[in-house]
């Protein structure tokens, strides 16, 4: 009992030094350890798309993927405000695509905005004072302009969620996903923003994505050992790159600011090639699979 108490106190002390509450520190760790590596399975997606036929094609994929990620980082460093707005926008699209069910263009659009917007917009609206501090650290200055954008998007979300409720009433197959969204919305209101985002990113988005990729790989007959090995290599590479980035920027910034910038700019850098691969290419050849 004493040892458990000492460990808790030690972790709490570390969290205080880093400028985070304990839950937020755990949430950030989960994003790095569980959430970020889900993109490591992009190597497996590349295999399913035919990029693993030989060493040359895999090298072309890896160089292209890393080059896009590097360009995103450079763009963010040069245009942080614009980069943050774009990142929030593509996050809505990416999360919404992952959680939506098949339907007409309008029905799919409503689902995409509802699911993706709840994660990005609702978390921000319900926890603006805390989210504003995070945004300020990400772009290095006050993010007053973002509050107006978030508020306007909030009004749009009211109409979208109302439409989604009606759609779920008319289409029983959508009710489970709508109920999931309602539960998440409640959690986002009760939890700190980093914790709420981590809950979704690690507990919903990542497992759902991995299940789809694993299903596609199994259907394609690829060797699971090869896929897992490739995913492990990509995971370790992302952790090493993150560690080096943190070491480089921590000297010029406070440690909490450095951690947030490395984690979320890293997320942005990986999200762009991840979306091109998964949303732009993989979903087109993927067999229907419900998760």
Distances (CA, A) of 180 to 75, 100, 123, 142, 159: 35, 12, 15, 34, 19
d(CA 97, CA 87): 15
Arithmetic mean of pLDDT, 61-69: 85
Distances (CA, A) of 17 to 11, 12, 22, 247: 10, 9, 11, 17
* Cβ count near 289 (within 10 Å): 12
Both structure tokens of 34: 């569980």
List of residues 6+ apart from 243 with CB closer than 8 A: none
Query: pLDDT of 110-140, one tens digit each?
Result: 999 999 999 999 999 999 988 988 888 888 7
- pLDDT score for 11: 43
Query: pLDDT of 143-158, one tens digit each?
Result: 778 889 999 999 999 9
Confidence of residue 63 (pLDDT cuts 50, 70, 90): confident
Q: Is the pLDDT of residue 13 over 50?
A: no
């Amino acid at each position: 009992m004493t040892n458990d108490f000492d460990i808790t106190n030690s972790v709490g002390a570390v969290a205080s030094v880093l400028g985070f509450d304990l839950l937020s520190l755990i949430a950030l760790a989960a994003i790095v350890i569980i959430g970020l590596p889900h993109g490591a399975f992009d190597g497996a997606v590349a295999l399913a798309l035919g990029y693993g036929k030989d060493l040359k094609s895999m090298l072309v994929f890896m160089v292209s993927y890393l080059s896009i990620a590097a360009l995103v980082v450079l763009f963010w460093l040069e245009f942080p405000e614009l980069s943050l707005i774009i990142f929030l926008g593509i996050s809505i699209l990416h999360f919404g695509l992952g959680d939506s069910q098949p339907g007409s263009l309008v029905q799919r659009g409503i689902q995409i905005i509802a699911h993706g917007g709840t994660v990005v917009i609702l978390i921000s609206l319900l926890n603006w004072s805390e989210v504003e501090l995070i945004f300020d650290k990400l772009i290095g200055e006050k993010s007053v302009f973002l509050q107006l954008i978030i508020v306007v998007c909030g009004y749009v979300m009211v109409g979208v969620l109302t439409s989604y409720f009606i759609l779920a009433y008319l289409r029983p197959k959508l009710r489970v996903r709508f109920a999931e969204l309602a539960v998440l919305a409640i959690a986002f209101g009760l939890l700190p923003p980093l914790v709420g985002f981590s809950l979704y990113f690690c507990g919903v988005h990542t497992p759902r994505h991995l299940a789809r990729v694993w299903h596609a790989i199994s259907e394609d007959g690829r060797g699971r050992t090869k896929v897992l090995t490739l995913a492990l290599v990509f995971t370790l590479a992302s952790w090493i790159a993150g560690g080096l980035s943190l070491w480089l920027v921590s000297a010029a910034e406070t440690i909490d600011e450095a951690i947030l910038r490395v984690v979320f700019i890293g997320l942005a850098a990986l999200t762009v090639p991840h979306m091109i691969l998964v949303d732009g290419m993989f979903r087109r050849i993927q067999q229907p699979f419900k998760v």
